[in-house]
């Protein structure tokens, strides 16, 4: 049978399975089993067992549930309130004023959460009512939150970077370090856009608030000390070479519990809810990874990835043309799947082409996460859009229109890291060269 027809039928089967609303992992296993039983002579049972065990028995993945648990603990703490109170006095003199709190708050929480949806929900729960009560433009308030919430995917400790590192056998420490400057660049782009918008639309900004004395700003900043200490303890221990990501994740859970205890938000209920939430999310990701690994092996037996790579190679695309095609492909795929599913579904097929084009896999991981970030605010399945739809009551397409300028800024960020790869590679190459 023609492999192109086989690939088309399997892809159609995958889309049909996902359209029914079943779990992504079940769809992956179903398509893989169908391919193995109908097209391959290898014994399906032993291949399934060894593949699932190999995908689950990965030391790199042990950091995943710990970072998720840390984020769940902090989600139930007063962290967002402390960040808003500590940041807002410093933002009142900038064009755009408290709109910048959304961006910086998301950037800070991303550094202790690793989840885009958790970042959006936690910061939005605190900032949106505050901005609304002070008369800020709703379009910009929601747009800044939608765009900045995606920083949870990029700024370490990023869950999706752990998944990518495990799937591609790349150093998670190097990936974490590579995500720092692109994450900071996105924050600067977002804040620059907000400042320009505020200067051009003064009539849509609320009246200026009273200036806060310098001493009072310093006192308010003390509320940022716990979260800065947490970030320093977790990320600093990795960058300093004192701890591996897994050890840093365990340290992060301990520090999050201590922070929650002293803030008065740690109780039997919040502890249990955080543990249960982390267990659910970790199991979901592990199930998807196992299904993707089995599908990867099944596709390997059929020879489809080899044929696909050969077909794309025959097109003689330049590296730039390949990146443009991949960007469109990932954004479209991200309209229907969550970011982790996009990564685990595509890496086995895409990476041979990427390596053949001479692209650095650490750099490609950052590029991939940036593009997946873009898909988080594109309908119909942009996860950040769902979070904001539930928080604001607006139609998901209306929220997407509010987020459009920040989507375009992410496109600019992709262009910048393609033009200047050192934005992603400078830190890992210079600080982890040994």
Q: SS3 helix, strand, coil % of the chain, rounded to 5?
A: 80, 0, 20
Question: Residue 221: which residues within 8 A CB-CB, separation 6 or more?
Answer: 86, 89, 90
Share of the chain above pLDDT 70, in %: 87
With both helix axes pointing from N to C terminus, report the angle between 304-314 and 268-302 in degrees, rounded to the nearest 10: 70
DSSP states of 298-314 as a string?
A: HHHHHTHHHHHHHHHHH
List the structure tokens of 429: 């190459």
Q: Looking at the domain assignment, is residue 255 inside a domain?
A: yes
List the structure tokens of 230: 């947490």
| Dist CA 434 CA 429 (whole Å) | 9
Classify residue 253 by its DSSP letter: H
Give the pLDDT score at 109. Answer: 76
Give the pLDDT score at 145. Answer: 87
Residue 192 has pLDDT above 80, yes or no: yes
Helix (H) or strand (E) holding 421: none
Residue 229 has pLDDT above 60, yes or no: yes
Q: What is the pLDDT of residues 53-90, one digit of tens each?
A: 877 776 666 777 887 788 778 777 777 677 777 777 77
Indicate the burial class of 318 (C-beta count within 10 angstroms; 0-12, 13-18, 19 or more): exposed
Q: Looking at the domain assignment, is residue 19 inside a domain?
A: no
| Dist CA 328 CA 99 (whole Å) | 30
Q: Looking at the domain assignment, is residue 306 inside a domain?
A: yes
| Dist CA 344 CA 115 (whole Å) | 17
* Residue 51: band (very low, low, confident or very high) from pLDDT cuts 50, 70, 90: confident
Residue that has been written with the tokens 């190097």 in this structure: 174
Q: What is the pLDDT of residues 83-101, one digit of tens each?
A: 777 777 777 778 888 888 8
Residue 113 or residue 200, greater confidence: 200
Q: Looking at the domain assignment, is residue 283 inside a domain?
A: yes
Q: Looking at the domain assignment, is residue 30 inside a domain?
A: no
Give the pLDDT score at 18. Answer: 63
Residue 173 has pLDDT above 60, yes or no: yes
What number is the average pLDDT over the span 222-226? 80
**Whole-prediction pTM value?**
0.75
Q: Looking at the domain assignment, is residue 2 inside a domain?
A: no
Classify residue 224 by its DSSP letter: G
Residue 352 or residue 18, greater confidence: 352
Give the pLDDT score at 305. Answer: 60
Residue that has been written with the tokens 């082409």 in this structure: 353
Share of the chain above pLDDT 90, in %: 10
Give the pLDDT score at 421. Answer: 92
Give the pLDDT score at 420. Answer: 93
Q: Looking at the domain assignment, is residue 52 inside a domain?
A: no
Residue 214 has pLDDT above 60, yes or no: yes
Range of the domain at 399: 59-431
| Dist CA 363 CA 56 (whole Å) | 26
Indicate the burial class of 149 (C-beta count within 10 angstroms; 0-12, 13-18, 19 or more): buried
Neighbours of 120 (CB within 10 A): 32
* Residue 8: band (very low, low, confident or very high) from pLDDT cuts 50, 70, 90: low
Q: What is the pLDDT of residues 412-428, one digit of tens each?
A: 999 999 999 999 999 88
Q: What is the pLDDT of residues 104-147, one digit of tens each?
A: 888 877 777 666 777 777 777 777 887 888 888 888 988 988 88
Q: What is the pLDDT of residues 354-382, one digit of tens each?
A: 887 788 999 999 999 888 888 778 776 56
Mean pLDDT of the chain: 79
DSSP states of 374-385 as a string?
A: HHTTSSSS-HHH
Give the pLDDT score at 105. Answer: 82
Q: Looking at the domain assignment, is residue 343 inside a domain?
A: yes
Domain count, the chain: 1
| Cβ 327 vs Cβ 333: under 8 Å | no
Residue 434 has pLDDT above 50, yes or no: no
Neighbours of 77 (CB within 10 A): 24
Residue 1 has pLDDT above 60, yes or no: no
Helix (H) or strand (E) holding 11: helix 3-19
3-class DSSP state for residue 296? Answer: helix
Give the pLDDT score at 6. Answer: 65
Q: Return the half-sphere exposure (C-beta side, CA atoms, 13 A cut-off) of residue 214.
A: 0
Residue that has been written with the tokens 């929601």 in this structure: 142
């Amino acid at each position: 049978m023609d492999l192109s027809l086989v690939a088309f039928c399997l892809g159609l089967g995958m889309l049909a399975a996902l359209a029914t609303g079943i779990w992504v992992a079940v769809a992956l296993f179903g398509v893989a089993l169908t391919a193995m039983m109908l097209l391959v002579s290898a014994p399906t049972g032993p291949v399934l067992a060894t593949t699932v065990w190999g995908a689950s028995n990965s030391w790199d993945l042990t950091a995943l549930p710990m970072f998720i648990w840390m984020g769940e603990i902090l989600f139930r703490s007063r962290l967002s309130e402390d960040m808003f109170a500590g940041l807002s006095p410093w933002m009142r003199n900038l064009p755009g004023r408290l709109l910048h709190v959304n961006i910086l708050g998301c950037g800070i929480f991303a550094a202790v959460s690793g989840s885009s949806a958790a970042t959006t929900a936690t910061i939005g729960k605190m900032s949106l009512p505050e901005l609304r009560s002070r008369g800020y433009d709703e379009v910009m308030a929601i747009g800044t939150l939608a765009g900045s919430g995606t920083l949870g995917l990029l700024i370490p400790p990023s869950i999706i970077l752990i998944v990518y590192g495990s799937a591609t056998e790349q150093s998670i420490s190097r990936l974490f370090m590579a995500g720092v400057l692109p994450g900071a660049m996105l924050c600067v782009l977002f804040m620059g856009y907000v400042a320009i918008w505020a200067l051009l639309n003064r009539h849509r900004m609320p009246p200026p608030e009273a200036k806060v004395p310098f001493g009072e700003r310093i006192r308010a900043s003390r509320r940022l000390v716990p979260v800065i200490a947490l970030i320093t303890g977790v990320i600093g221990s990795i960058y300093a070479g004192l701890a591996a990501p897994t050890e840093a994740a365990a340290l992060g859970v301990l520090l999050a519990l201590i922070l929650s205890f002293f803030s008065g938000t740690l109780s039997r209920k919040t502890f249990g809810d955080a543990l249960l939430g982390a267990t659910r999310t970790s199991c979901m990701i592990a199930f998807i990874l196992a299904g993707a690994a089995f599908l990867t092996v099944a596709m390997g037996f059929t020879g489809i990835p080899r044929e696909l790579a050969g077909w794309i190679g025959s097109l003689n695309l330049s590296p730039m043309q390949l990146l443009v095609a991949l960007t469109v492909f990932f954004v479209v795929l991200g309209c229907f799947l969550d970011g982790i599913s996009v990564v685990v579904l595509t890496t086995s097929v895409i990476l041979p082409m990427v390596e053949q084009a001479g692209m650095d896999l650490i750099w490609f991981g950052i590029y991939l996460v940036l593009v997946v970030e873009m898909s988080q605010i594109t309908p119909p399945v942009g996860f950040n859009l769902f979070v904001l739809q539930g928080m604001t009551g607006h139609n998901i397409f209306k929220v997407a229109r509010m987020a459009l300028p920040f989507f375009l800024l992410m496109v600019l960020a992709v262009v910048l890291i393609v033009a200047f790869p050192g934005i992603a590679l400078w830190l890992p190459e210079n600080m982890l060269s040994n």
